Structure 1
């Protein structure tokens, strides 16, 4: 299993082109019902969590998301 993780959650801007990411995210929801959109978001979260692969980092992300 390949696991390359940071020891802590990166909260500073880390996207090359944040506007492009946002546009792609919005486009990925085009044509989806509210239920399909929620399911898409759930699948995306699970895929990204698997990519991160570190429970301590994921717990930091949970806490940061709740604070926002």
Structure 2
């Protein structure tokens, strides 16, 4: 299975709204837990190891392309 990175949501705005609503009234720990549970549920649904590794790579690349929150510098690994 190849990872589909093209827009593929039938109702993207509705999904985004539902995703935001999922976090409503949760504290930071609960919000992180909800995200982790969602990730694991979707990973289980996908099931294909190679596709999941590709998704992890894309997600990490997307995160590292963003400016750091601490004033534009990122801590260096020791």
**TM above 0.5:** yes
Confirm whether residue 49 of structure 1 aligns to residue 35 of structure 2.
no
Higher normalized contact order (CA 8 Å, seq sep 6+, divided by chain length): 1
> 1:24 & 1:59 partners in 2: Cα distance?
26
The answer for the alignment partner of 1:36 in structure 2 is 30
> 2:30 & 2:59 partners in 1: Cα distance?
22
Q: Highest Rg: 1 or 2?
A: 2
Root-mean-square deviation (Å): 0.5
Runs of 4+ in 1 over 2 A off after TM superposition: none
What is the TM-score normalised by the length of structure 1?
Answer: 0.88
The answer for the alignment partner of 1:66 in structure 2 is 60
What is the TM-score normalised by the length of structure 2?
Answer: 0.77
Deviations 1:3-31 (A, max 9, x none): xxxx1100000001111110000001111
Gaps of 5+ in 1: 1-6
